[in-house]
Chains A and B, each alone.
Chain A
Amino acid sequence: MSDDADDAAAPDFSDVLVIVPAHNEATVIFDVVSGLRKTFTHVLVVDDGSGDGTAQIAESAGAEVAKHLLNLGQGGALLTGFRIASQLPRIKWVVTFDADGQHRVSDAAAMVEEARSKDLEVVLGTRFGEGSSEASFAKRTLLKMATRYTRFSTGLKVTDTHNGLRVMTSSLAGRMVITDRGMGHASDILDYIAHHKVAWAEMPIHVHYTEYSRSKGQSMSNAVNLVTDRWLR
């Protein structure tokens, strides 16, 4: 029993559900899920109406899978994940994690630990911690502008918005209101945090942009849609 000391030191993540919204991610989902499963017991892939076998591959990598019969968008997939988490009594924490492989599992684990130790309801990953981003100059500028807009509209002193890596309590996830089923959900989440005075903090994370994640990520022109959609609602 020489491992006892190690076992005691290893954090227990059995009350954490990692939610991975995925739409046509067959090429990367296996690696993302198996990477997560080395640390987290429960990984839920919300297959958002994929037509490329994402669900089966995710299952074979050890994920639980919830299937949308139609594509609803990332916000819709997250909301489904939140509802599932809030109905599982053993689950106390929820992690949202992108399916394209740009997030690090170690960051997610550290964020859960941070939330637990500091009694926070939400920990948001930020790409603008020191040396933690590989984004291009144009993307950084755009993200900074989006962040300024969010600071202004929510009053939250965030340093990053629209970053998919977050940790929150499952009870908060169950109460979360997401009205935008598309990419605008990130602003909905921040709005909810601001309006309900949720205890939150940011934590620097490393985002690894690959050729693949760039091609799957939001286009710069989509930023305009995000803002105008919010005004139209």
Chain B
Amino acid sequence: MAGLIFILVLIVGVAILWRLGGTHHGRASKRLVMLGFAFLVALTILNPELTTSLANYIGLGRGADLVFYLTSIGLMFLAAITYLSHRRTEDRVAELVSAQAVSEAVKQMSGRTDD
């Protein structure tokens, strides 16, 4: 029962992200990756033993540990990607603010410094 609820939440989450995917570049590949990831998560919800066997196979012990490590790594990547995209946006805004100030000032000053 609990597993079913998790899968429902997963489907709703995927549906929302699918809509948000909007006009981004390379959205097809991003959507495929997202679908693949959701499929894996659904598999582990339906059959929790899967993660344990995988963890045993790579010598990690419990499946929960493996999930925890993967989630931590995923979160760090997410933080890094968010930081980079935020910085890119900041750079673009700064470029715009500077270009606007330069064009106004040059227009205003070019007559006066030519004397």
Number of interface residues of A (CB under 8 A): 24
Q: Which residues of A contact B101 (CB under 8 A)?
A: 46, 66-69, 80, 84
**With A64-B105, A65-B105, A66-B104: A79-B113 Cβ-Cβ less than 8 Å:** no
Which of A63-82 touch B at CB < 8 Å? Answer: 64-70, 72, 76, 79-80
Query: Which listed segment binds B: A85-93, A116-124, A199-207?
Result: A85-93
Which of B12-66 touch A at CB < 8 Å? Answer: none
By the criterion CB–CB under 8 Å, are A68 and B98 in contact? yes
Q: Dominant SS at the B interface?
A: helix
Q: Is A83 interfacial (CB 8 A cutoff)?
A: yes
Q: Is B93 interfacial (CB 8 A cutoff)?
A: yes
B27 CB to nearest A CB, Å: 30
Report the number of A-B residue pairs with Cβ-Cβ less than 8 Å.
58
| In the complex, residue of chain B having the shortest beta-carbon distance to the beta carbon of A181 | B94
Cα of A49 to Cα of B104 in the assembled complex, Å? 15
Q: Is B97 interfacial (CB 8 A cutoff)?
A: yes
A16 CB to nearest B CB, Å: 10
- Residue-by-residue, is B74-115 near A (CB-CB < 8 Å gives 1, otherwise 0)? 000000000000000000011001101110111011101111
Q: Is A185 interfacial (CB 8 A cutoff)?
A: no
By the criterion CB–CB under 8 Å, are B106 and A72 in contact? no
Pick the 7 closest A-B CB pairs, nearest first: A66-B105, A66-B101, A90-B113, A80-B98, A83-B102, A88-B113, A87-B106
Q: B: which residues have CB within 8 A of A?
A: 93-94, 97-98, 100-102, 104-106, 108-110, 112-115
